Amino acid sequence: MDDGSSCPTNSAGLLPLSAGSPTAEGLEEKLRRVREENRRLAGTLGAILADRPDLRALMRAPASAVACARAPSGSASNAAREEAAGVTVEPRPKVRTVCARAEPADTDANLSVKDGYQWRKYGQKVTRDNPHPRSYFRCAFAPSCPVRKKVQRDAEDTSKLVATYEGEHNHARSPEREFVCNESIAIGHRPCSVSINPSGRTIRLEDMTNHGSGSRLDLETIRREVVTPEFQKLLVEKMVNSLKNDADFMHALTNAVAERILEIIPARLS
DNA sequence: CGGCTTTGACCCGCGC
DNA sequence: GCGCGGGTCAAAGCCG
């Protein structure tokens, strides 16, 4: 979203470190830039919502989904006030709300939005503004991966699931689990489609997942191809290239490295 | 037997 | 200070 042209960020989208103590002029200048950035982002969001009536409806829904997505501790009104005043809120874990169609077999107790990651349920709660219970999930790689998600049926449209993600995964999707790539849950994620050609023949992930519906490659052939060192080397290269081109991943990585550096520097100086 | 889910209890922030 | 509601914990039960 950030093209880096109007905001003085570095290539990773981070604000530059201040060289000296902040002056009133400097702070005003920074505030002015932040306001400009807010206006620009609001314009971009408006353009996106113009093409997506489903997202527009989600943004309008004040009850459970959006409020909890924007303010995990129930401070939606504070966020709105700060936004109205043109003040940015302090950085908090990246929060994203997505919608998905509920599977017919899903009961309130086993709600799940299949997104390619493994999740461990750690709680369920009935909230005031929705008769359907909200389920709380942690990434199966916790505590090393801090991501959490909340899943709840839409109060008005019970066939719709609202999932709220908090944080960023610091690992790849689990390859051996089923990954149903639903259009509505692919927001912010690169579609998982790779073409690999280790031995003169192209194998696509579609071949592996559609083997029951007329694929020319049988599973045993694919399995033989996949265990070859050439294939695995190529797969690693493809994954690295894919991650290098993923702006979200690179942003999260740069932030993590920057945080680590900031932790180390004071320790070295003292 | 180990991993996962369920669910009541507990904690904490917020509004009054 | 108190009550309410959302979020988390942890013991018990379930399942492969």
Q: Which residues 11-70 of A interface with strand B at a CB distance below 7 A?
A: none
A49 near A56, Cβ under 8 Å?
yes
Q: Where are the beta strands (DSSP E) in chain A?
A: 95-101, 119-126, 133-139, 148-153, 160-166, 195-196, 203-204
Q: What is the pLDDT of residue A135?
A: 86
Distance between the two ends of chain A, CA-based, in angstroms?
Answer: 39
Contact indicator for A79, A92 with CB cutoff of 8 Å: no
Predicted pLDDT at A14:
34
How far does the CA of A122 sit from the C1' of C10, in Å?
A: 10
3-state secondary structure of A152: strand
Residue type, A169: H
Distance CA A130, CA A60 (A): 16
Nucleotides of chain C touched by protein CB (<7 A): 4-10
Q: Is A203 helix (H, G, I), strand (E, B) or coil?
A: strand
Q: Is the CB of A77 under 7 A from strand B?
A: yes
Q: From the alpha carbon of A71, which nucleotide's C1' atom is closest?
A: C6
Q: What is the pLDDT of residue A156?
A: 73
Give the closest residue to A113 by CA, choosing from A153, A77, A140. A153
Half-sphere exposure of A21 (CA within 13 A, CB side): 0
CA atoms within 13 A on the CB side of A103: 11
Residues 165-184 of A with CB under 7 A from strand C: none
Question: What pLDDT score does A232 carry?
Answer: 63
Full pLDDT tens readout for chain A, 270 residues: 433 333 333 333 333 333 334 455 555 565 566 566 556 655 555 555 455 554 444 444 433 333 333 333 333 333 333 333 344 444 445 666 666 665 544 554 455 555 667 788 888 888 877 778 888 888 877 666 778 888 887 777 777 777 888 777 776 665 444 343 333 333 333 333 333 333 334 434 333 434 333 344 444 555 555 555 665 666 666 666 666 666 666 677 777 777 776 766 655 555
Question: Is-above-0.75 flag for pTM?
Answer: no
